């Protein structure tokens, strides 16, 4: 690390952006040669929208990019659907899928918007789940490698920022994102075998990216947040560190140091759920060191100690959008999450904590000393289209303003941050809450079950964020 003059704020080259993901945003789930992915085949919760149309970006990408340009975006983070490129998971390339992403990338560049591309965002081709249970099998590595190679060869000359795996920790703890069967979900050996394969998949993607896209920057997307001890009891401080390791450092260490965190490996061995290593795994993991870290941050966590004799409790999302309907996880011998009475929560019980954002950034950078790109941060809320045809989402503005201020303070603390892509540019399908829980700067005129006209309507936050970009991060109170 070089010791330079203390930064005053956001650098002139800072990449202000927005974010999305293919299965949540594109729609056209079975059009132009695309096969179903695992998210297409999961029945939505009762009354909630499915992946079939979502925001219909597939048919409206040109108009959407015009809105991105109007907003002033410098970068746009999106994912490429594996099943749109390789409908069988391998083999014959779907040229219509290639054509769509070619048009999307070219249109972004034409409008001076930097494409930031995610390779894997929860949407493995469903046929691979049927064939060999997907990421639970090492067979996935050859197929994922083929997908990466096709994508890098097709788009690599125009894309310089690549993201490998999105939120591996979410896939690990919330099996909905794997397309797994209920029997699999009860099997922690299966879960951590899959985690190992994802880590190898990340390393493969890094190697291939550097081979086919010289001069590129590549990194993983980690969904992580700091945790606080519930009390000053030493056991609760230990629980806080346990959670930091199990839900954060365990993944970071695999990606960046190419090895298992010692206390995490001990945690796995104590429970008999450690994965098996094959020849070459250790060397491959070492080759996966990224150029930067991409971080998704929404909330912080608070924990207390959980004794080994405790009964495990699985995390259950709040699906109702009414505060208090969340089930916090308990991991025996490690930690139990609980409510933090010092923090306000969203209608879905996510603790809003900009100071936690600053602390999370500092913890990551102090430990790994790699540049950080924020790839998700935002507020899911019930947005109301009023009689005048406007959406006054002042609550979203306040959330984002506080987090951008915290990010600026982290930069002044010495953290190297080079991009911010709030979730999301436009309303899209929430993975657990459909279209009722909205995140975008742009409203999509539809409900859970009524597509209406899918008209795009600028929210109040659209104009606010446009000014933030224009002034390079100035927040007017």
Cβ(299)–Cβ(225) below 8 Å: yes
Per-residue pLDDT of 163-205, as tens digits, reads: 999 999 888 887 667 666 655 666 788 889 999 999 999 999 9
- pTM (2 decimals)? 0.95
Per-residue pLDDT of 345-402, as tens digits, reads: 999 999 999 999 999 999 999 999 999 999 999 999 999 999 888 999 999 999 999 9
Q: What is the pLDDT of residue 4?
A: 55
Distance separating alpha carbons of residues 416 and 294, to the nearest angstrom = 12
Find, among 134, 269, 137, 116, the residue nearest to 193 by Cα.
137
- Under the banding of pLDDT at 50, 70 and 90, the label for residue 46 is confident
Is the model's pLDDT at 332 over the cut of 70?
Answer: yes
Per-residue pLDDT of 238-264, as tens digits, reads: 999 999 999 999 999 999 999 999 999
201-213 burial: b if 16+ Cβ within 10 Å, else e: bbbbbbbbbbebb
Best mean pLDDT range from 3-7, 171-175, 281-285: 281-285
Burial class (CB in 10 A: 0-12, 13-18, 19+), 324: exposed
And the tokens for 26? 């594109």
Q: What is the pLDDT of residue 182?
A: 57
Distance of CA 68 to the CA centre of its chain: 20
- Under the banding of pLDDT at 50, 70 and 90, the label for residue 2 is low
Kindly list the structural domains of the chain, giving each domain's residue range(s) and its CATH number in brackets, ordered by start: 15-228+244-298+352-470 (3.20.20.80)
Per-residue pLDDT of 68-120, as tens digits, reads: 999 999 999 999 999 999 999 999 999 999 999 999 999 999 999 999 999 99
Query: Which residues make beta-bridge pairs with 438?
Result: 381
Is the model's pLDDT at 266 over the cut of 80?
Answer: yes
Q: What is the pLDDT of residue 189?
A: 86
Phi, psi of 351 (to 5 degrees): -70, 125
And the tokens for 294? 């991409």
Average pLDDT for the chain: 94
Is the model's pLDDT at 36 over the cut of 70?
Answer: yes
Long-range contact set of residues 264-267: C-beta below 8 Å, sequence gap at least 24: 267/242, 267/333, 267/334
Distance separating alpha carbons of residues 314 and 369, to the nearest angstrom = 33
Point out the residues that are catalytic: 167, 376
Per-residue pLDDT of 293-302, as tens digits, reads: 999 999 999 9
């Amino acid at each position: 690390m070089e010791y330079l003059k203390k930064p005053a704020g956001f650098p002139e080259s800072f990449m202000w952006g927005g974010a999305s993901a293919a299965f949540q945003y594109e729609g056209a789930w079975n059009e132009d040669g695309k096969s179903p992915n695992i998210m297409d085949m999961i029945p939505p919760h009762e009354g909630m929208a499915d992946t079939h149309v979502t925001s219909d970006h597939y048919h409206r990408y040109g108009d959407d990019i015009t809105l991105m340009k109007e907003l002033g975006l410098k970068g746009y983070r999106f994912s490429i659907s594996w099943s749109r490129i390789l409908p069988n998971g391998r083999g014959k390339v779907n040229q219509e899928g290639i054509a769509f992403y070619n048009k999307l990338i070219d249109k972004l560049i034409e409008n001076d918007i930097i494409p930031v591309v995610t390779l894997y965002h929860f949407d493995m081709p469903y046929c691979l789940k049927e064939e060999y249970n997907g990421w639970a099998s090492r067979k996935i590595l050859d197929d994922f490698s083929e997908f990466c190679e096709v994508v890098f060869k097709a788009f690599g000359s125009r894309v310089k920022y690549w993201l490998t795996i999105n939120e591996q920790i979410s896939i690990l703890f919330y099996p909905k994102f794997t397309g797994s069967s209920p029997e699999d979900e009860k099997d922690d050996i299966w879960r951590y075998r899959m985690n190992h394969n994802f880590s190898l998949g990340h390393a493969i993607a890094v190697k291939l990216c550097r081979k086919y896209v010289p001069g590129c920057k590549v990194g993983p997307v980690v969904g992580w947040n700091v945790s606080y001890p519930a009390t000053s009891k030493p056991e609760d401080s230990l629980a806080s560190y346990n959670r930091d390791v199990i839900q954060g450092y365990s993944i970071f260490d695999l990606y960046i140091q190419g090895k298992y965190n010692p206390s995490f490996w001990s945690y796995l061995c104590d429970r008999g759920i450690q994965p098996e290593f094959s020849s070459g795994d250790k060397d491959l993991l070492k080759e996966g060191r990224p150029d930067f870290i991409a971080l998704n941050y929404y909330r912080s966590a608070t924990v207390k100690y959980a004794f080994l004799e405790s009964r495990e409790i699985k995390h259950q999302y709040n699906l109702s959008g009414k505060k208090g309907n969340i089930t916090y996880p308990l991991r025996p011998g490690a930690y139990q999450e609980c409510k933090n009475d010092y923090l306000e929560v969203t209608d879905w019980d996510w603790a809003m904590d900009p100071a936690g954002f600053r602390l999370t950034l500092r913890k990551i950078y102090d430990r790994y000393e790699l540049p950080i790109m924020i790839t998700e941060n935002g507020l899911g809320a019930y947005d109301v289209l009023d009689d005048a045809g406007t959406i006054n989402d002042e609550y979203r503005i306040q959330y984002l303003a506080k987090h951008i201020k915290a990010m600026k303070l982290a930069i002044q603390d010495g953290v190297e941050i080079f991009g911010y892509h709030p979730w999301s540019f436009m309303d899209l399908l929430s993975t657990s809450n459909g279209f009722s829980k909205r995140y975008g700067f742009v409203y999509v005129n539809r409900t859970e079950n009524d597509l209406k006209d899918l008209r795009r309507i600028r929210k109040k936050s659209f104009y606010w964020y446009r000014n933030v970009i224009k002034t390079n991060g100035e927040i007017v109170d």
